[in-house]
């Protein structure tokens, strides 16, 4: 293409005026297009490298995520077992506490029943006791009086 743009006559003098007008116009345009093309290729190469780095980073993060997820799943099972075990231990301690409270409740009920029976006895015996006290007071009053019989 460049050969076509050079002047037809081969002269020893090569001047700006001896060039064809297409050469003067096309050569800078072709040069500019070549430079733009090279810049575009360089920019695409940079974008490709950046994209490749981002894809690698994404893959690494995905691997880390899956590793953490698997680790969490592995830890979750023993934690669930420990939780169930602690609940079963709590059930045993609650059962023991229930039995103790039940026995204490039984003892308190027996004591309450005995106190109620004692109270009933006292209420039943109180009128008889008062009657006996009155009889004794009357007896002692009559025994203290001197008899007035001749």
What is residue 146's three-state secondary structure?
A: coil
Domain ranges of the chain: 19-107
Q: Looking at per-residue confidence, does 112 or 28 come out higher?
A: 112
User: DSSP letter string over the chain?
Assistant: -HHHHS-SS--S---GGGS-HHHHHHHHHHHHHHHHHHHHHHHHHHHHHHHHHHHHHHHHHHHHHHHHHHHHHHHHHHHHHHHHHHHHHHHHHHHHHHHHHHHHHHHHHHHHHHHHHHHHHHHHHHHHHHHHHHHHHHHHHHHHSPP---
Please give the pLDDT value at position 91.
74
Please give the pLDDT value at position 12.
47
Please give the pLDDT value at position 62.
96
Q: Angle at Cα 21 formed by Cα 15 and Cα 22, nearest 5°?
A: 120
Asked whether 6 and 24 are in contact (CB, 8 A), the reply is no
**Does 6 have pLDDT greater than 60?**
no
Chain segment 59-109, per-residue pLDDT in tens: 999 999 999 999 998 888 888 888 887 777 777 788 888 999 999 999 999
Confidence band (pLDDT; 50, 70, 90) for 18? low
| pTM: predicted TM-score of the whole model, two decimal places | 0.38
Please give the pLDDT value at position 116.
92
């Amino acid at each position: 293409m460049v050969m076509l743009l050079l002047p037809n006559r081969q002269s020893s003098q090569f001047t700006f005026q001896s060039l064809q007008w297409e050469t003067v116009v096309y050569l800078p345009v072709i040069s500019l297009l070549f430079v733009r093309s090279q810049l575009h290729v360089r920019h695409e190469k940079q974008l490709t490298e950046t994209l490749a780095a981002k894809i690698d980073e994404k893959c690494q993060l995905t691997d880390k995520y899956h590793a953490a997820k698997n680790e969490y799943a592995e830890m979750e099972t023993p934690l669930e077992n420990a939780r169930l075990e602690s609940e079963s231990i709590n059930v045993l301690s609650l059962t023991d506490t229930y039995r103790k409270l039940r026995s204490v409740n039984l003892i308190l009920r027996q004591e309450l029943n005995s106190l109620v029976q004692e109270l009933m006895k006292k209420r039943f015996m109180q009128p008889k006791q008062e009657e006996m006290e009155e009889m004794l007071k009357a007896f002692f009053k009559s025994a203290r009086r001197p008899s007035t019989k001749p």
